[in-house]
Copies of this chain bind each other. A is one copy, B any other.
Amino acid sequence: MPKAKYEQLYQFLKEKIESGEYPPQELLPSEHTLIAELGCSRNTLRRAVGELVRAGYVQTMQGKGMRNIFQPSQQTTFTLGTIETFSESAARNQQRGTSKVLLFSSVTADRKLAEKTGFAENTPLFYIQRLHYLNERPLIFNHSYFRQDVAQGLTREIAEGSIYRYLENELHISIINSKRVVTVEKATPLDLQYLDMGDCNCLAVVSSQTYNSDGVMFEYTQSRHHPNFFRFQDNAVRRSAAHGKSEGK
A: residues with CB less than 8 A from B are 2, 4, 7, 25, 53-54, 56, 59, 61, 64, 67, 69, 71, 76, 80-83, 118, 168, 172-186, 199-204, 208, 211-215, 225, 227-228, 230-245, 247
Contact = CB atoms under 8 A, between A and B. Distances in A.
B199 A236 contact: no
Nearest to A213: B244
B177 A232 contact: no
Max count, chain B CB within 10 A of own CB: residue among A76, A174, A182: A182
Contacts of A54: 81
B83 A215 contact: no
A58 to B, nearest CB: 9
Contact of A233 (B168, B173, B180, B185): B180
A232 to B, nearest CB: 4
Contact of A227 (B2, B175, B181, B184): B184
- Copies, count: 2
A173 B246 CA distance: 10
Contacts of A177: 53, 56, 59, 69, 235-238
11 contacts: A59-B213, A69-B177, A82-B236, A174-B244, A177-B238, A182-B204, A183-B227, A183-B231, A186-B200, A202-B203, A214-B244
A181 B231 contact: yes
A163 to B, nearest CB: 15
A184 B215 contact: no
A181 B78 CA distance: 10
Contacts of A204: 182-184, 204
A239 B186 contact: no
